[in-house]
Amino acid sequence: MPQIAQLADTYSSQIFWLLVFFGIVFFVVGRGMVPKVMDTVSQRDSQIAADLAAAEAARSQADEEEEAWRKRENENRAAAQALVAQAKADAAAASEKKLSAAQKRLDTKLAKAEAEIADARKTALAEVEDVAADAARDIVQRLAGASVTPASAKKAVKEALSHG
């Protein structure tokens, strides 16, 4: 077979060029490009690690600031609630004071009115007794023809009114 014989003639030449090609590829790609690519990958890895560390630091700082903010807000809320409670207590005390003063005024007016009513009742009762005594004297004088003194007529009317 002539193709095989020709193959043996070019065999050494093909191996030579194969070694030259692979040598060039090895030195250009393996020694020239791969280290640069590996340096770039290493730089990217270190940049990513630094970014992750910075993000973690920022997150922890944000968490601390949020916790401090929450604490301040809770303290402010507690202070506001204490202020509201104090205002309510002050308003209740002022309202109680006003109500107490108003109740005292009403009690004074009520006592005064009761005293006036009692005086008016006594006066009215005395007038009724006087009118009843006069009427009783007139009735006794007309019916019996006897004359009764005003003092005895008043006494008889008081006895009658006290017994019902």
One digit per residue, the tens of pLDDT, for the chain of length 164 reads 455 556 666 778 888 889 999 999 888 888 888 888 899 999 999 999 999 999 999 999 999 999 999 999 999 999 999 999 999 999 999 999 999 999 999 999 999 999 999 999 889 888 888 888 888 888 888 888 788 787 887 888 788 777 76
- 66's tokens: 């949020």
Residue 133, exposed/middle/buried by CB under 10 A (0-12, 13-18, 19+)?
Answer: buried
Whole-number Å distance between alpha carbons of 12 and 76: 91
* Residue position matching structure tokens 């809320």: 77
Q: Letter for the amino acid at 59?
A: R
Whole-number Å distance between alpha carbons of 53 and 57: 6
Whole-number Å distance between alpha carbons of 90 and 152: 67
Radius of gyration of the chain (CA): 62
Whole-number Å distance between alpha carbons of 133 and 159: 11
**pTM higher than 0.75 for the full model?**
no
What is the predicted pLDDT for the residue at 108? 93
What is the predicted pLDDT for the residue at 6? 61
Identify how many contiguous H helices and E strands the chain contains and give both numbers. 3, 0
